[in-house]
Amino acid sequence: MNRFKREEARKHRKVREGLTADQVKARDERETVTSRVDERARLIHAYLFGEEYAFMHADAFGEPRPSAEEIVTKNAYRKEYGLPLLDEEGKAPDFQEATMKHCVAIAHKEIVDQGFENRSPMLEKLTAELHELVESQRSERKPFEYRPDKPYMPGQFDAIYLEKELASGCRLIAFDDDPYRAVTVLKGDEPMFTLLCANLNETVTYIESNLEALVRGEG
């Protein structure tokens, strides 16, 4: 367990000190709902506002930036909900803050309120596709997931997985429980993906030794 998880466990125990069994149960139920809302919000955010992640990948790995047509489409949605607009390069002025609040509100309505009012047709279409998209990617990721006994960097990364991409091969990603701290550290084509999977132990050892350089693009 890394330092972050130990601290979270300590806080979990602290806030329950002196509570009755019924009070602890009620608090656990509230936190479970909050956790479900937050998890769903992260998935919705990654789909509705994928351009915020794509821009980082474009900077780090030379991937194509959003096209002019994509920017127009994304800005139409952002304008409808009063969110910061993308600039001509496809970059948002306040990465994730406003858009994440928007996604938390969507997730809360979906999970807690159990329904929507005045849903935008665009939101209806995009969110309807979200679950199918996530599930289709999950099968590509799970077989190659790897969780070590020790974190890769103390207090930061505690897992690593290979993610197959239909268009451009694969990525090898180190991450902790917060998806916003996920970092793509390697990219490759199909042969490289197969090689990494076949030699996962060696791959993990290499990543552990060279993570900082890989993140900077020097590996």
> Count of domains in the chain?
2
Instruction: Indicate if the alpha-carbon torsion angle 66, 56, 210, 166 is positive or negative.
Output: negative
Q: What is the dihedral of CA 83, 138, 36, 128, to 10 degrees?
A: 50
pLDDT for position 137: 46
Tell me: do 42 and 107 sit in the same domain: yes
**CA 58, 64, 65: angle at the middle one, nearest 5?**
70
Cβ atoms 192, 36 nearer than 8 A:
no
Residue ranges of the chain whose pLDDT lies below 50: 1, 117-118, 134, 137-158, 166-167, 175-185, 190, 193-194, 197-198, 215-219
Judge whether 25 lies within some domain.
yes
Judged on CB neighbours under 10 Å (0-12, 13-18, 19+), 108 is middle
Q: Which of 72, 105, 136 is the last residue of a domain?
A: 136
Specify the pLDDT at position 7.
Answer: 75
Quick one: pLDDT at residue 179? Answer: 43
* pLDDT value at residue 63: 57
Residue 214 contacts residue 187 (beta carbons within 8 Å)? no
Same domain for 210 and 107, yes or no, is no
Domain that holds residue 36: 17-136
- Whether residue 206 sits in one domain with residue 167: yes
Instruction: Give residue 58's pLDDT.
Output: 53
Start-to-end CA distance of the chain, whole Å, equals 28
122 and 196 inside one domain:
no
